[in-house]
Every structure is written in structure tokens, then in C-alpha cells.
Structure 1
Amino acid sequence: MKRFVAAFGALFLVGVGQALAAPRLLILNFEILDTSNEPVDRRSEHERRLAMIRDHIAEALDRRGLYQIADNALLEARIHEILARQYLRDCNGCEIELAQQAGAEFVMRGKFNKISTLVGSMDIEIKRVATDRPVYIQNFGFRGDTDEAWTRAAEFFARSLARKMAQGEAQ
């Protein structure tokens, strides 16, 4: 019994150590580029889904111990100020400034490309704040414009990133 408690305690401490060692990541709100020309306005539905996949990815990366997720709530005023002029994906380095303000070592930007009602793709980039250089870039396509399809895409990304980090390809 003592061995079990000691082994469990050691595993717990290793888990805590890994969580403490995980770098901080700021995940900016995902953006959409809709070229589908659908006759129905689905902006509010898409805004909800963009927040949903951002939160899903944050939870999945945190759960896997890959990153500690930085809280971007304190940055909302600055983000809205930037968005009044341009997209975050076109802001010439504002993502680095935001990540520094959040105390993050890495920053993630994501864009959902809606090509048609059934075809979409996601572009995701993670940059190292200190160097302003990408450490991970991925584009992947998926089918469906539903909560389920978007959630599957977010989970696919999290699994893919975890695999690449385990192989030392995304540091």
C-alpha cells in the first residue's frame, strides 16, 4: 500500500511539474473569411462557433498539458480597438504585443475559411513571442457547417499539434 501511495504521489508531482513547465499560450479569437455567398446571413451562428472552437482548442491543449492558456479577458478592450480598424490576421505584429501583455510565450491565431455550405478549412499559426517566428502552421479542410463538424476540426488540430510536439516538430 505504501508503494502505491508513493507511486501515486510521484506521478502527481510529475504531472504538477509538467503543468508548471508548460509554456503560456495566448489564443486569440478565431476569425472567419466567408466566400460562400450563401443567401442566409449566418454571422451570429459563425461568431458563436468561432468562440466555441477557440474554447475547445484551449481546453484540449490545457488538458493535454501542452500549454498553460493565458486569459485574454484583460485584453478585450485592446482587441476591440484593433478590430475596429482591421482583422487580427492583418495587424502587422499586434498579436505579439497582445501576447506580451498577457505574459505569454506563444500566441495562436486562427482563421476559418468558409468556401461553401459544405466545405471549409482552418488556418492556424502559433508564434514564439520572443522571436516573432512561427513554430507551427497548419491548414486543413473539413466538411460541414455544423457545431459537430467544427468541434471535430478543433479536436483534429489539438491531436495533430500534440503529435507534432511529441515528435519535436513544434517547439
Structure 2
Amino acid sequence: MTSFRSFSRLALAALMLSAGTVRAAADDDSPAVMVDDFSYLDTSGEPSDQTAVHQRRLEAFIAALRRDVAADARLRLVSPACGASCPAADAPPAARLHMAADAGAGVVITGGVQKLSTLVQWARASAIEVASNRVLFDKIFTFRGDSDEAWERAEMFVSRQVRDALATPQPIRLALLPFELDDTSAGAALGETETDRKELQAATDAVRQLLEQSGRYRLVDAAAAVTPGQPLRDCEACEANIARGLGAQQSLLGIVRRIGRTEYIIGFRVRQADTGAPVAVGDSGLRLGANYSWGRGAVRLVRERLLDNGGSER
């Protein structure tokens, strides 16, 4: 008897075959998704022939999945335009993958359902990146019952899981404000030195690189919008006003508080541009080191307290 796992491996391996030259998906922020036909396998051993009923339920399952993808604002459903000339469902996998590429799909959702017994069925859903043949999602679901209602419940659950896995959050437009020095040391009366300004810029640049690499933010350079000699750290509304004026959704201001010549604290705060409400704050605690270490400390703090905490550290 054919096992579901071997059946699924065959389906997945088929989609993972190289498709040769593949056209890239259309330029769009939301993933272009094609929902391919699913297969069905009945290994329950039941004496009655339920082929027609299962085919109807499978078609309803796929149709509902396509509707869900089309209705999901995070995704973009695409369909083959080849019509009657489209490769058949049992055509070689490379042909089906080419069909997806020609439709402009960046991702193909495929899979199958297997009936194990009267009450137990398995569904496997896979999502394959067309250009690279990379598996983005692959999961086996178990659902009980073989009724229209059971299939509908299964589709809702599978659909939500697959769509959540494929949906890529849009980067937050973030106005990165230059790091500021709050000097409370005994030598504060001497003012900022050229070396201080150099290291503050280095800290800002290091954090900018970290945020860009994270993919979570789309940075808006706010340096030109800041008035020299007018620090923002004591003007909470100013940060939001600058960010809002630049079309950003949030602002990030970093502050180096110098306690002594080799003692400092690094902090940052992220605010919502439309309301000025704090989104995230971070404080390194007392650190030891010369000003050339500010950049390393800033990167570590932002990584640990902002990026690793989902951008909501409070």
C-alpha cells in the first residue's frame, strides 16, 4: 500500500525538479502566489467507491484556498493564462513549474490529501519558491472526519497556516536620527570634540547598517532635517514631527550619555510618527571604554533590545 509520506515525497520532489530558465515574478511588494491542483489518495480500504465525492470535496478545498489567497491583502493570487493549452495536472513537474513561472508566480502552493481510515485524513501543503525551487513551507496536517464540514474546517486551518508563512511584513519606514552626546562628565564644559562627533557618526552608521540588514525597516535619512546645535533628546515631540515630515512611520534616536572619560551609557528610543507614542526603548547600563567603542555598544543594544524582541521592547 502506498504510504502518505512516500506519496507526499513524490509530489514534493516533482515540484523541486529544476525548471531550467524561469521568469522572475512580477515586481510587487506582495508575493505573487499560484495555487496548483492538489492530489488525492485513498488508502482507507473502505469497500464503497467514494471517488466522485472526494473529487468534489477536493475541488471545493482548492477553490476555497484560492479565494483565501485572493482575499489576503498580504498576498497576490495569480492564475495561468494558458487555458486549454495548460499542462494537465499529471504533466511532468517541470511543465507545471514553467506554467507557474509564465503566470508570473513567485510561489506555488501545492500538496495532497490522503484518507487513512473512515475518520482520519492527512493533508500536506507545500509552498515552493519558483525561481530557486526552495521549500518555503511544508507541513502535514491531520483532520478527522470525511464530510463537507470536516473538509471546510481543514481548508480554513491549512489556508491560514500557509498564508501566514508566506506573508512578508512590509518594512517599517524609519527615520534614523543622528546619535547625540549627553555629556555629564567633569569635562563637559569643554564641549564636543571632533573625535566625539566622528564616533557619534560612526555609531549612527553602524546602527543604520544593522537595521538595513534586518529587513524589518526601510530607513529614511533624517540628518538633513536636524538643526545643528539643537539636540532632540529633550524635545520628545520633535522626533515624531521630523519623522512625520519625512513620510516615515517611526523615528529612532540614539543617545550616548558620558559619565566619565571612559564610562558611558548608550540608550535609544523609537517613537510612532503619527502620535509620538514610544514604541521601544533601550538602555545599555553603565559601560566602560573609550568613545571608539560607542558604535559596538550601540549595535549590540539595538540588536538585543529592538530586533531580537520584535521591535516592541519597553
TM-score bracket for this pair, using the shorter chain length: 0.7 to 0.9
User: After superposition, what is the alpha-carbon deviation per residue over 1:5-28, rounded to whole angstroms, capped at 9, x for unaligned?
Assistant: xxxxxxxxxxxxxxx632211111
* Partners of 1:95 and 1:107 within 8 A in 2: no
Distance 2:42 2:134 in 1: 27
Distance 1:167 1:72 in 2: 23
> Against the structure 1 CA distance between its residues 53 and 66, is the aligned structure 2 distance closer, same or farther, given a 3 Å change threshold?
farther
Distance 2:75 2:95 in 1: 21
Q: 2:119 aligned with 1:122, yes or no?
A: no
Residue type of the partner of 2:103?
Answer: A
* Partners of 2:87 and 2:95 within 8 A in 1: no
**Aligned counterpart, 1:154:** 155
- Deviation at 1:62? 2.2
Mapping for residues 69-108 of structure 1, pairs under 5 Å: 69-72=77-80, 74-75=82-83, 77-80=85-88, 83=90, 91-108=92-109
Distance 1:136 1:95 in 2: 18
- Deviation at 1:101? 2.0
- Deviation at 1:167? 8.4
Distance 2:40 2:75 in 1: 24
User: After superposition, what is the alpha-carbon deviation per residue over 1:38-70, rounded to whole angstroms, capped at 9, x for unaligned?
Assistant: 111111111111111111111112222232222
- Deviation at 1:37? 1.4
Mapping for residues 13-52 of structure 1, pairs under 5 Å: 21-52=29-60
Structure-2-length-normalised TM-score: 0.42
Which structure has the highest helix share of the two?
Answer: 1
Unaligned runs of 5+ in 2: 1-27, 170-314
Distance 2:147 2:81 in 1: 27
- Deviation at 1:76? 5.1
- Deviation at 1:75? 4.9
Structure-1-length-normalised TM-score: 0.73
> Against the structure 1 CA distance between its residues 73 and 40, is the aligned structure 2 distance closer, same or farther, given a 3 Å change threshold?
farther
> Against the structure 1 CA distance between its residues 108 and 132, is the aligned structure 2 distance closer, same or farther, given a 3 Å change threshold?
same
**Aligned counterpart, 1:131:** 132
* Partners of 1:125 and 1:138 within 8 A in 2: yes
State percent identity of aligned pairs: 30
Residue type of the partner of 2:104?
Answer: G
Residue type of the partner of 2:78?
Answer: A
Describe the SS at the equivalent of 1:130.
Answer: coil
Aligned length: 142
Unaligned runs of 5+ in 1: 1-19
Alpha-carbon RMSD across the aligned residues, in angstroms, is 2.2
Distance 1:61 1:40 in 2: 34
Mapping for residues 53-68 of structure 1, pairs under 5 Å: 53-68=61-76
- Deviation at 1:113? 0.9
Describe the SS at the equivalent of 1:22.
Answer: coil
Describe the SS at the equivalent of 2:159.
Answer: helix
